[in-house]
Amino acid sequence: MLRIRDLHVYYGVIHALKGVSLEVERGEIVTLIGANGAGKTTLLRTISGLVPPRSGEIEFEGRSIFRTPARDIVRLGVSQVPEGRRVFATMSVQENLELGAFLRRDKSGVAEDLEKVYTRFPRLRERRRQLAGTLSGGEQQMLAIGRALMARPRLLLLDEPSMGLSPILVQEIFRIIREINEAGTTILLVEQNAHMALSVSHRAYVLETGRITLSGPSSELAKSEEVKKAYLGG
Amino acid sequence: MTTFVQQLVNGISLGSIYALIALGYTMVYGVIKLINFAHGDVFMVGAFVAYFAYTGLHLGFIGSLIVSMAACALLGVLIERFAYRPLRQSTRIAALITAIGVSLFLENAGIIAVGAQARGYPDMLPGSPFQVGGVTISTKQVEIILLAVLLMVLLQFIVHRTKIGKAMRAVAFDQDAARMMGIDVDRTISYTFAIGSALAAAAGVVYGAYYSAVDPLMGIMPGLKAFIAAVVGGIGIIPGAMVGGLVLGLIETAVQSFGFSLWRDAAAFALLILILLVKPEGLFGRHAREKV
Ligand SMILES: Nc1ncnc2c1ncn2[C@@H]1O[C@H](COP(=O)(O)OP(=O)(O)O)[C@@H](O)[C@H]1O
Ligand SMILES: [Mg+2]
């Protein structure tokens, strides 16, 4: 579904991605783990068309999305839940969700999906008239996920959705990620919480300073000595 | 009492002109963090377009107003496209200097095109003064206030109820997140310039009709005052621009009615300094991220 080949990304002189190759198949949850500054966010932002890559290939469903404008990538079916949630704090919960469906013209489909999001996140329904900035961290994360789902994506990119949340909320977020995947959405998940990420995902990649150093089924990576040492605390 | 009501109406009508201009400053600042110093000159162009539409094409007040707003919307889009967009990634000071350059360009182009002399403005706003309980009120002033209210209601509708308005608010808050929603940021910025410039044009038309004279440098002072109004209300905040404009209009009128006409402009700058000292985020500024 998503195929990345030898991708290079620079910020000025900083070489942030040094030839990354990665694949995500339809129906999978693939996780990308790596230390702070490894380039995980850069990779997701490049896929979404927010950072222009220098060279390489990015294909979504057989079509090149290399340097494609961000809105066309959303239109093709790739949505992102960004690092730090980035909800529109000065707008209401419902307006945030409606913005997620910005490019859609099918009013009835949008209404249906809004209902689905509210069913999945009852807290958001209760607070739909409230400004997003007044929500708690966990609620904002749910709003960011709901907002991305409003585009009806086939591939969902999640950048550190568990960041800054209490252990109970982390459990809940991962349960939701699994549910979204079971409902048919393919997921590429970036996490520092390697334990949880490896337990929900099918396959995993390890990114170190701009390079993929390990990849394989999540259950195997969870047992690998290198991963244990570097990301699972021994 | 009667003079008080008259002065109140004067203050509100002057204030609503400031408010219309201030809205453009604040909306543009909201989306791209630029003080568009050419905005007052767009106001001037608006006055002149309506002048020629009225005297040359005989389009009447409404027709001339619409032509002027449309022309300035286009002018605003072109200014952004060719002067500011190429500098989007540059420093803010570069963009600011460019804005001053655009301002000087429009003023001098105006002098070349129509001459530096002030010319009489047609009496576009019809109607004679009327009496309410012994108070004489000019129909013109009421018309100016009604037009301003109408345009502001329309603006609120656009900003809160339409897709382009929601896109403007989203871009103002977080450009990157807006992009992730599929919003076309460049197009949204163009719309913002178009709407802000059209409002300035409307202000220019009623200003010309109210003061009966226009010249290519007429935008400088009202532009500056409207900028003060936007800062007083809280730059980037739409209701702030409306209230800031009204407050400024009322204060200036009050100063003038107490016989200190010469202090009118000084009062505006004193208000600016006072706000910057006491509440630098403006009357409506809450926390740093509250915009548009
Ligand atoms: N906008 C930027 N400008 C310059 N350098 C950046 C920018 N964003 C990220 N970087 C650099 O690129 C590298 C990768 O960052 P990032 O993708 O955010 O890593 P991660 O998400 O894995 O923590 C880091 O060295 C970071 O400092
Ligand atoms: Mg990151």
State the closest ligand 1 atom to the C-alpha of A35, by its place in the atom list counted from 1.
Answer: 22
What pLDDT is recorded for position A231?
81
B186 to chain A, any CB pair closer than 8 A? The answer is no
CB contact under 8 A, A71 and B179: yes
pLDDT in tens, B225-277: 999 999 999 999 999 999 999 999 999 999 988 888 888 889 999 999 999 99
Tell me: pLDDT of B289 over 50: no
Whether the CB of A218 is below 8 Å from some CB of chain B: the reply is: no
3-class DSSP state of B180: helix
- What's the pLDDT score for residue A189? 98
Helix (H, G, I), strand (E, B) or coil at B83: helix
The amino acid present at A186, given as its one-letter code, is T
In chain B, where the domains are located: 2-278
| Confidence check: pLDDT of B132 > 90 | no
**Taking 80 as the threshold, does the pLDDT of residue B5 lie above it?**
yes
Nearest-CA residue for atom 6 of ligand 1:
A11
> What average pLDDT does this structure show over B52-73?
96
Token look-up 């990308």 returns: A32
Residue B286 scores a pLDDT above 80: no
Phi, psi (deg, nearest 5) at residue B21? -70, -45
DSSP letters spanning A49-88: TSS--SEEEEEETTEE-TT--HHHHHHHTEEEE-TT----
| In contact, A127 and A139? CB cutoff 8 Å | yes
What pLDDT was estimated at residue A230?
Answer: 82
Mean pLDDT of successive 10-residue segments in chain A (234 residues)? 98 96 97 95 98 97 96 98 97 97 97 97 97 96 98 98 94 96 97 91 96 95 86 73
The pLDDT of residue B137: 76
Contacts of B184 in chain A (CB under 8 A): 71
Is residue B292 within 8 A of residue B168, CB to CB? The reply is yes
A48 lines ligand 1 (CB under 6 A): no
CA distance B156 to B282: 20
Share of chain B above pLDDT 90, in %: 81
Mean pLDDT, chain B, rounded, equals 92
CATH of the domain spanning B2-278, picked from 1.10.3470, 1.10.287, 3.30.310, 3.30.110? 1.10.3470
Whether the CB-CB separation of B182 and A103 falls below 8 Å is answered with yes
* Residue B215 · residue B119 · CB < 8 Å: yes
Measured between CA atoms, the residue of chain A closest to residue B183 is A71
Tokens for A127, please give them. 């607070």
Residue-wise pLDDT for B84-98, tens only, equals 999 998 998 999 999
Contacts of B113 (CB under 8 A, 6+ apart): B216
Helix, strand, coil percentages in chain B from 3-state DSSP, rounded to 5? 75, 5, 20
What mean pLDDT is predicted for residues B195-221?
96
Q: What is the ipTM metric for this complex? A: 0.94
The answer to whether the CB of A14 is under 6 A from ligand 1 is yes
pLDDT of the residue at B20? 97
Looking at the complex, does the CB of residue A88 fall below 8 Å from at least one CB of chain B? yes
Q: Is B272 strand, coil or helix?
A: helix
> Which residues in chain B are contacts of A86 at CB distance < 8 A?
174, 176-177, 180
Query: What is the DSSP secondary structure assignment for residue B120, as one 8-state letter?
Result: E
Is residue B247 within 8 Å of B229, Cβ to Cβ?
A: yes
Interface size, chain A vs chain B, as Cβ–Cβ contacts under 8 Å: 65
**pLDDT at residue B291 greater than cutoff 70:** no
Q: Where are the domains of chain A?
A: 2-87+151-231
> What integer is the mean pLDDT of B52-64?
96
A107: closest CA of chain B, how far (Å): 13
Q: Report residue A7: phi and psi, to 5°.
A: -85, 130
Contact B289 A90 (CB under 8 A): yes
Pairwise CA distance, residues B190 & A77, whole Å: 27
What's the average model confidence in pLDDT over B33-47?
96
Q: List beta partners, residue A3.
A: A23, A59
Domain A2-87+151-231 in CATH 3.40.50.300? The answer is yes
pLDDT at B131: 77
Q: Which residues of B touch A88 (CB under 8 A)?
A: 169-170, 173-174, 177
Give A41 Cα–ligand 2 centroid separation in angstroms.
4
DSSP B121: P
Residues B110-120 have a mean pLDDT of: 95
CB of residue A47 inside a 6 A radius of ligand 1: no
What is the Cα–Cα distance from B203 to B17, expressed in whole angstroms? 5
Give the separation between CA B103 and CA B49, rounded to whole angstroms. Answer: 17
What angle do helix axes B163-173 and B185-211 make, rounded to 10 degrees? 100
- A86 — contact with chain B (CB < 8 Å)? yes
